[in-house]
Structure 1
Amino acid sequence: MAKAAEILEIPATITDRGQTTVPAAIRKMLALGKRDQVVFRGLADGTVMISKKETRAPEGDPVIGKFLDFLARDMTNEPGRIRPVPKSLVARGKGLVKGIRVDLGAALPDDDA
């Protein structure tokens, strides 16, 4: 038998300007970071749902997009973790592309080709 969904109820105050703060527990539940956007959906019965607005990279790869979203959130939430890229890793990357010529102005080939 499936467990019924638990409802989290947290009161919040609306300011004179019609603003409120999304409670920390809700921000954590939705994995919201600074500058993330939310979407409110109101139902006819007066229920309102809030969810994280998903950002889409233009014609982007969903895996890369999620990874970049993760990096952006992590850098915002934990700036103390940011470290320079080690020289050995830079050298390894340069070794991978050594001798490869790329025309950055050229059109990319179709994926179907």
Structure 2
Amino acid sequence: MSKTAEILEIPATITARGQTTVPAAVRRMLGVGKSGRIVFRGLADGTVVIAKADAPVEEDPALRPFLALLERDLMERPQAVAPVGEDLYQRALALTSGVEVDLDEALSDDEE
């Protein structure tokens, strides 16, 4: 015996600022709380699907402090910024000659 799927339809109003409230029943279906994140997906046929957003990618914990250090150093010692010399540039070119890099390729695991 097949069970007919019911469609949940809950009307919502869009404010003058283009905002709306995601009804509690929809939030429960998606498993998101009041401060949860959702995503709207527009399909080719004009249908819009609302889904729970993927968890945000975690930021490298060392990146922000490192960038802050660089910023502080540049502000305090702008005279320390200097262009790379021609001899170092030419040496780098020679060392990397013939090396091909695919920036889209996944990094391999470190081998010991």
What's the TM-score, normalizing by structure 2? 0.46
Bigger relative contact order, structure 1 or 2 (CA pairs below 8 A, ≥6 apart): 1
Larger of the two Rg values belongs to structure: 2
What's the TM-score, normalizing by structure 1? 0.46
